[in-house]
Amino acid sequence: MIPRFTHFAAIDWSGAAGERHRGIAVAMMAANDRAPHLVRPSHVWSRGEVLEWLVEEAPAQTIFGFDMGQSLPFADAGAFFPGWADSPPDARTLWAMVDAICADDPHLGVSSFVDHPEIARHFRRPRTKLEGAREGDLFGGGRGRFRVTEAAQATMGCSPTSNFNLVGAAQVGKGSLSGMRLLHRLPREIAVWPMDPLPASGKVVVEIYTTIAALAAGRTARASKIRDSLALAQALAGLDCAPSLLPEVITDHAADALITAAWLRNHAGRGELWHPTGMKPKIAQTEGWTFGAF
């Protein structure tokens, strides 16, 4: 049974250093709204504030889509960190490890995790010459390791980036790791799908990939980013929404969040998206899944 969500929220996330980030945008749409809107549109969010808003302020029957990876690749090698005796057995244990290692990193930062001498070996990262570390020697060749859900994204026309990549403008590793700290800190009554079974009611957090929403809105993967109100209005019209009341120039982060909130409103009730073919039970508990990938 699919929960009857009353509100649909999308969060464009950031793993950048520091407390507040212009790269974070939060958008919301109620089931009967004509258009999505930004939550605190002029506010520069911190990651901690997003967590507080989700837990304390957002409506009870909300689905929250976070544009970040819930976990790291596991299925391809049978472990997150193959060859390391302390490699966690599942996603929730991984979240706890990230949060514990980074206990002294402020603002849900993850520098201590990626600087860990053993863990650093698995990430492609800028060279910092960590004492005693063999940085990146287990990253592998090419674009790195991918989760099963990212292979599904690729078949849809997306171009996912490995969560083990910490280099370049498209890197998503630190954002995903900081997101794992947030997921670990959620009250257990808030479900994180697919690690938790889908509840009949209550708040549910899912992973989203904003390019999937952009494709549904009529954009292409190469032109998924929007920075002006006309293009945003056209994309929202493709999702059967009225244009949001926004300034002429808009950040791509805000546009991503708005489009994805509208997409969630349209697609959260599709039963097949909650049961993708490639998401076997072991995959759900270790790698997680991107809602909308099939």
- Which pLDDT score, from 0 to 100, does residue 249 have? 72
Q: What is the DSSP string of 188-211?
A: TTSEETTTSPPPSSS-EEEE--HH
Tokens of 49: 């504030």
pTM, rounded to two decimals: 0.95
Cα distance between residue 217 and residue 287, in whole Å: 27
- Distance (Å, whole) CA 124 – CA 128: 12
Per-residue model confidence as pLDDT tens digits over 37-68: 999 998 999 999 999 999 999 999 999 999 99
Question: Token match 């304390």: residue?
Answer: 56
Is a pLDDT exceeding 90 seen at residue 134? no
Q: What digits encode the pLDDT tens for the residues 203-230?
A: 999 999 999 999 999 998 877 788 888 8
**In 24-68, which ranges are E strands?**
25-30, 37-38, 62-67
pLDDT score at 122? 96
